[in-house]
Amino acid sequence: MNESTKSAPSKHIAQNAELTETSTGKETRQPLRLAVLGATGSIGRQTLDLVAAHPERFELVTMSVNSRTDEALKAVSKFHPQTLAVCDEHAARGIRDIMKRDFGSTELVTGSDAMTEIATRDDVDMVVTATVGYSGLLPTVAAIKKDKDIALANKETLVVAGDLISELLKTSRTRIYPVDSEHSAIAQCLEGEERDNVHRLIITASGGPFRTLTAKELEQVTAADALRHPNWSMGAKITIDSATMMNKAFEIIEAHHLFGIAPDKINAIVHPQSIIHSMVEFKDGAIKAQLGIPDMHLPIAYALGMHHRIAGASGYLTFEQMHNLTFEQPDTERFPCLTFANTALIRKGNTACIINAANEVAVDAFLHGRIRFTDIFDVVAHTLENIDYESSPRLEDYIETNTLSRRKAEEYINKYKVIN
């Protein structure tokens, strides 16, 4: 696919040069006021670690959870945010009285629009999108319309509607700071470089827990097996996506939208040690890589620091840990989900939105023991074949595609795939 005219990476990935005013005068700078969407998740909790360690730099103004209110209350009692958003109404009812009695200064907002409400507050400077799946789309769109800076963990937003987000960014002052470790690594490698000199992006993949299994063995793996990721401790959904390599397909799509690099210039390579977090190859043959221990605190800190380094964000890598760095080509026969990246970026339109919706349904079914691991690919492929293609979707079209695709995937699972 020739898309070389699109080789200039997005101006919305901020460079240090744009940010010099925030790199100086630490004494007088006001804390950056944060809205953390998905504060009880893996990324959300690590974000709160950083807030707790640097109260002079960060203030938690508002946060959201879906239903884990026990965890939410612990965070409220520690950080005293102005608002707590609980998206699940039933869960919210359960803490209404406790909130009034014990945390009267924190307002409780609830329901499906609650994330949008908190992401667009006037007193928020940066939104950390650490909610999972499609749920990140509408609050992110609303935050961009309000010119909020975004530390973007929720890659599904760019997968579902990357073209729409890019369009919105053209008329917004929002700057996007990637949290995903691969995209943070690429942003770090691109610092100080002329973007026209980029030859390709090389996204590393751990290969997940099933990297060495045969196709036959993959049919028998359970959710518990898949949740044992060798290098990273993450939420359930992304851990399954890592095992199928759908996560790497999503990251290729994410990189395309973040950096404006043509799809044929973005490659995935399996690197089981997860020490090199990704690389950029330049036209003169040089390759820059970012290395570090597998610890999300570092990319989170680099995003929240607006591409300035925060000392002590993560531990140091030893040379012993680097003595055996290996690489292999991904095997798309055993891990066919990786091929959805190409399908999505070639067909464009609502294609990736369909893939994402079907994948969310399939992953949930696998986690509940309703389908096999290897059925995840079938469910997504079947849904893709049976949902109408829309070449230039608007926001409402993405919303409709998501609803229809979920329904189709669910129907297919119920009819053909449920295991006894």
Instruction: Give yes or no for residue 40 binding ligand NDP (CB under 6 A).
Output: yes
Q: Does 132 contact ligand NDP by CB under 6 A?
A: yes
Which of 296, 345, 354, 409 lies at the binding interface for ligand NDP (CB under 6 A)? 296
Q: Which does 378 bind (CB under 5 to 8 A by kind): ligand NDP, Mg ion, none?
A: none
Closer to ligand NDP at the Cβ: 68 or 195? 68
* Residue 245 binds to ligand NDP (criterion: CB under 6 A): no
From candidates 35, 50, 60, 65, binder to ligand NDP by CB under 6 A: 65
Position 156 contacts Mg ion (CB under 5 A): no
Query: Does residue 67 belong to the site contacting ligand NDP (CB under 6 A)?
Result: yes
137 binds ligand NDP (CB under 6 A): no
Closest to Mg ion by CB, 181 or 350: 181
Residue of 32, 34, 35, 41 interacting with ligand NDP (CB under 6 A): 41
Of the residues 180, 254, 295, 364, which one makes contact with Mg ion according to CB under 5 A: 180
Per CB under 6 A, 38 contacts ligand NDP: yes
Nearer to ligand NDP, 236 or 269 (CB): 236
CA pair distance 343, 339, nearest whole angstrom: 7
At closest approach, how far in Å is the CB of 109 from ligand NDP?
12
Rank residues 247 and 401 by Cβ distance to Mg ion and give the closer one. Answer: 247
Decide: is 290 part of the binding site for ligand NDP (CB under 6 A).
no
Q: Which stretch binds ligand NDP (CB under 6 A): 61-69, 223-231, 287-295, 304-312?
A: 61-69
Q: Which of 83, 110, 135, 140 binds ligand NDP (CB under 6 A)?
A: 135
Does 375 contact Mg ion by CB under 5 A?
Answer: no
Q: Indicate the residue among 363 and 417 with the shorter CB distance to ligand NDP.
A: 363
Binding site for Mg ion (CB under 5 A): 180-182
Binding site for ligand NDP (CB under 6 A): 38-44, 64-68, 87, 115, 130-132, 135, 153-156, 180, 232, 234-238, 296
